[in-house]
Amino acid sequence: MNQNVIISRNIAADITAAVSAITPDRVFVLTDQTTLECCWPRLCDVACLSAAQMITIPPTDAAKTLDSLTHVWAAMQDGGATRHSLLINIGGGMVTDLGGFAASTFKRGMAYVNVPTTLLSMVDASVGGKTGINFRGLKNEIGVFNTPHTVILDTQFLRTLDTENIRSGYAEMLKHGLISDEQTLAELLRFDLENVDFTALADMVARSVAVKQRIVTEDPHEHGIRKALNLGHTVGHAFESFALAQNRPILHGYAVAYGLIPELYLAATRCGFPTQCLHQVEAFVRDNYGHFSFGCKHYDSLIDLMRHDKKNTAGTINFTLLAAVGDIRINQTATPDDIREALDYYREN
């Protein structure tokens, strides 16, 4: 399945070309309140968008709910959307995931285009066709695979982001580096996230999204190599859900950055991943993301959350590990005792 991702130098022209290629009967734009304020002013004059029907939902992952989804479906129904209409999702991962799911299910599916405006969405969420919402405390529990018609990626939007959102997306770039090669990883570990060089970052984003694009084109439904993209996510998703349940939500990329450390520890102890590299990634994560605090009394809850992960087959907890940078080992399992040891390592280092 081809993933049509455009690194845009002229967003108006690229959106116009995508809409012309689809020839929809109606155009709907989904965005969230924050994106509406920060990013929509750059787009509202694009002719094919000025007549679009706007749908706005609240910002942040807390809005990735069935209620928001119902709001989008209702707005499209009230606006006369048909199977031949188009939904353009403009925003971060929450908007592109939820909007992708709304479009994929409305009248059994209409086309959608993603215009990611956050780093996380550019390098990960908007590409590859994973759509969905959170449900009963579990992340992305309900959803479908359905590739967007086009993803239009304009790195100028990165300048609207706060430092936490840059760091959040950067964690996925770090993951792409780990599954790629040592040179890419070294460049990522050298990058100064305190004083972001946006020109250099734009170039790194294009290369990072190409890593994801190559993998999801080869394995769109995650039967094999796409599982490489789950590095850091088995523990990361558990941290994210645990933090949410404790009323101290953390951004997705922070959870992934923290999750990389126990997972690379498992990689080191089980697959021979070099400990020197584990320590380098660990130092970068500590310096740029701080520490996620939890106690050993929380291990059972965390392991329970890992058991709910979509990557598992019954009774196992599945990990993607590495034998070295770029040397990917999918379908690895670990026992609760192995996981406890990895969580001990995280807390003690």
Q: Which residues bind ligand GLY (CB under 6 A)?
A: 124, 128, 130, 226, 229
**Residue 56 vs 234, nearer CB to ligand GLY:** 234
**Residue 254 vs 294, nearer CB to ligand GLY:** 254
Handedness of CA 48, 52, 58, 64 (dihedral sign): negative
CB 97 within 8 A of CB 139: no
What's the closest the beta carbon of residue 311 comes to ligand GLY, in angstroms?
10
**Residue 125 vs 266, nearer CB to ligand GLY:** 125
**Residue 84 vs 221, nearer CB to ligand GLY:** 221
What's the closest the beta carbon of residue 126 comes to ligand GLY, in angstroms?
10
CB 332 within 8 A of CB 279: no
CA nearest neighbour of 266 among 333, 201, 207, 179: 333
What's the closest the beta carbon of residue 131 comes to ligand GLY, in angstroms?
10
Helix, strand, coil shares of the chain as percentages rounded to 5? Answer: 55, 15, 30
Alpha carbon distance, N-terminus to C-terminus of the chain? 42
What's the closest the beta carbon of residue 169 comes to ligand GLY, in angstroms?
12
Cβ-Cβ contacts under 8 Å for 330 (sequence gap 6 or more): 224, 225, 227, 228, 320
What's the closest the beta carbon of residue 124 comes to ligand GLY, in angstroms?
5
**Residue 139 vs 149, nearer CB to ligand GLY:** 139
| Residue 214 vs residues 127, 183, 218, 320, 322: alpha-carbon distances, Å | 11, 18, 6, 18, 19
**Residue 24 vs 128, nearer CB to ligand GLY:** 128
Amino acid letter, residue 233: H
**Residue 59 vs 236, nearer CB to ligand GLY:** 236
- Collapsed DSSP state (helix, strand, coil) of residue 318: strand
**78-89: string of b/e by CB count within 10 Å (b at 16+)?**
eeebeeebbbbb
What's the closest the beta carbon of residue 25 comes to ligand GLY, in angstroms?
30
Q: How far apart are CA 339 and CA 16, in angstroms?
A: 49
What's the closest the beta carbon of residue 228 comes to ligand GLY, in angstroms?
9
Q: Residue number with the shortest CB distance to ligand GLY? A: 229
CB 270 within 8 A of CB 297: no
